[in-house]
Amino acid sequence: MVKKTNASIVLIDEEVMMADEEFIVSKTDLRGNITYANRVFLEMALYSEAEIVHQNHNIIRHPDMPKGVFKFLWQTLKQEQEFFGFVKNLRKDGRYYWVFANVTPEYNQAGKLAGFYSVRRKPPASAINIIEPIYQAMLAIEKKATSNKQAEQQSLDYLVAQLQALEVEYQDLVISLYNAKS
């Protein structure tokens, strides 16, 4: 299979909003390779089903997203817990869209972990206003790091320290930001 890359996409600093009532849904295998994407996913990311299925979810990864967030996502999923978070995604045309994502483990009939399932909704602008500077600070830390491993660990440490200062758990913070009015 030919591995698609988004490295050739020219970034356009323009946001495309999800509709209020819509859900972006996808399923992946254990490695994050897409096995299913709904119509809204395809319309927002601007890929056809054939282009996206079997590709890794990082096909829509935006370079403004800190590695530390994905480290936390995978840490959470490996513990078979559900993840909530705000993600800036890259469209095929170079523009971006923010989502509030919930990712959960999926089990087969034998009760064994078989993959992951994600549902995203439109996030309130007020949440993005709070999350964006945190992500920018994480990215700045990652740029100074000497290795990828150090980058994701140091920026995740920063996120954890921010949360400790606010005396909140990550999940509680993102859920309360999502529930706040925009």
Ligand X SMILES: Cc1cc2nc3c(=O)[nH]c(=O)nc-3n(C[C@H](O)[C@H](O)[C@H](O)COP(=O)(O)O)c2cc1C
Q: Among residues 44, 60, 131, 138, which is the contact residue for ligand X, using CB under 6 A?
A: 60
Which residues face 113 on adjacent strands?
107
DSSP code, position 58: G
Minimum CB distance to ligand X, residue 136 (Å): 17
Minimum CB distance to ligand X, residue 29 (Å): 9
Longest CA–CA span in the chain (Å) reads 47
Minimum CB distance to ligand X, residue 151 (Å): 11
How close are the terminal C-alpha atoms of the chain, in Å?
Answer: 43
Cβ contact 73:58 at 8 Å: no
- Interacting span for ligand X (CB under 6 A) from 3-11, 15-23, 24-32, 162-170: 24-32
Q: How many residues bind ligand X (CB under 6 A)?
A: 16
Which residues face 34 on adjacent strands?
28
Q: Among residues 18, 32, 105, 124, which is the contact residue for ligand X, using CB under 6 A?
A: 32
Q: Among residues 72, 84, 86, 116, which is the contact residue for ligand X, using CB under 6 A?
A: 116
Binding mask 74-113 for ligand X (x = CB under 6 A): -------------x-x-------------x----------
* Sign, CA torsion 143/146/151/155: negative
Closest CA to 45 of 116, 115, 104, 118: 118
Q: Among residues 4, 23, 61, 92, which is the contact residue for ligand X, using CB under 6 A?
A: 61
Strands across the sheet containing 83-90 = 34-37, 24-28, 113-121, 96-107, 83-90
Nearer to ligand X by C-beta: 140 or 168? 140
Minimum CB distance to ligand X, residue 165 (Å): 26
Indicate whether 151 belongs to the interface with ligand X (CB under 6 A): no
Name the token pair of 135: 């992500």
Round to whole Å and give the CA distance between 57 and 68. 16
Residues that bind ligand X (CB under 6 A): 26, 28, 32, 56-58, 60-61, 65, 70, 73, 87, 89, 103, 116, 118
